[in-house]
Amino acid sequence: MGARADRPSGDRMVAVIEGQGWLDKPSYKIEHGMALALNLLGPAGVRVRDFLHGRWFGHPLHPMLTDIPAGAWTAALVLDGMAVLAPRPEGFKDAARAAVGAGLAGAAVAALAGLADWQFTHDNARRIGLVHGTLNTAATGLYCLSWIQRRGGADHRARWAGAAGWAVMAASSYLGGSLVYRHRIGVDHSDKELEPRQFTAVLAESELGAEPCQVQAHGVAVVLARSGGAIYALGEHCPHLGGPLSKGHLSRGQIICPWHGSRFDLATGTCRRGPATTGPPRFATRIRAGQIEIRRIPPVPAAPPGRVLARQQHIRDQEEARGDRRP
């Protein structure tokens, strides 16, 4: 059996789509159209884009929103089946129509969030994303048709349109999963190492100029930057797609990713502008014997157990970082 036959059919389907270079031309036209529309909105466009990425939520919005049409349309499929089998189908028919309508509303919002995320993909991920979006549009069109037919009493045709829409949606969902699983779209790309746990010298203070600088500490890449007389340290890799923050530039206490312009607060690591939805890890810094030393600040758990102890540790970390406490 050949290597090709050994590959799962899903793999082969994805590989075929990834090889379609002609998809790039329409992709860039759509992307440029979107960028133009958002730029025309000015600062409101930035807020809209950040909202759609999910920066306010600290998590990409699109994967969560897709559960609405997927769940509602699957429920409609089951209800349609029950309406066929039940001796008194009226209740099932009404419920199926409501589920189709709820799925349509969810699909519209999910599509906007998905477009906002897709705008910043590249190469193979962009091609998969384009086909994923096209299939979703086709599924939504079929459910629109199904909705109209249900309202007109053409139940039999409405069920077939709905079933076809569900099949298209299922194929599209596979591609959506592929975008996350293979291409790591929507995944946090920042380094999650807990090192260095102790203060570690990484650079002579005199060597850090006005530009950000990448250093290594126990194999962890970190970006150092000066701002307002203080020295800050953040994880080198942008959480969005792993862009090198040390190649970015500084502006008003923030570091800007060179790849897609996400902004991160140097003092807190907070993401101030997307497409990233969360910030990189943060490190405490201090100067000892002319050397910049850094230590990882562990994230504070949001809930018990150990909440109080973790909070105390966090406060100690901050005091050490400011030089108020000796480690």
> Should residue 285 be labelled a site residue for ligand FES when binding is judged by CB under 6 A?
no
Does the footprint of ligand FES cover residue 262 (CB under 6 A)? yes
Q: How many residues bind ligand FES (CB under 6 A)?
A: 13
> Considering the rule CB under 6 A, would residue 121 count as an interface residue with ligand FES?
no
The β-bridge partners of 265 are: 254
Shortest distance in whole angstroms from residue 275 CB to ligand FES: 5
Instruction: Single out the segment in contact with ligand FES by CB under 6 A; choices: 8-16, 166-174, 238-246, 287-295.
Output: 238-246
Among 238, 255, 266, 321, binds ligand FES (CB under 6 A): 238
Under the binding rule (CB under 6 A), the answer on residue 124 touching ligand FES is: no
260 contributes a contact to ligand FES by CB under 6 A:
yes
Name which position in 118, 259, 264, 283 contacts ligand FES (CB under 6 A).
Answer: 259
Q: Which of 241, 255, 271, 321 binds ligand FES (CB under 6 A)?
A: 241
Query: Residue 168 interacts with ligand FES (CB under 6 A)?
Result: no
Q: Does 276 bind ligand FES (CB under 6 A)?
A: yes
User: Is residue 118 close enough to count as binding ligand FES by CB under 6 A?
Assistant: no
**Given 114, 176, 235, 243, the residue binding ligand FES (CB under 6 A):** 243
Closest to ligand FES by CB, 55 or 150? 55
Q: Does 257 bind ligand FES (CB under 6 A)?
A: yes
Q: Residue 165 or residue 280: which is nearer to ligand FES going by CB?
A: 280
CA angle 297, 242, 226 (to 5 degrees): 50
Of residues 186 and 196, the one with the C-beta less far from ligand FES? 186
Q: How far apart are CA 289 and CA 310, in angstroms?
A: 30
Distance of alpha carbon 183 from alpha carbon 126, whole angstroms: 10
Residues that bind ligand FES (CB under 6 A): 120, 238, 240-243, 257, 259-262, 275-276
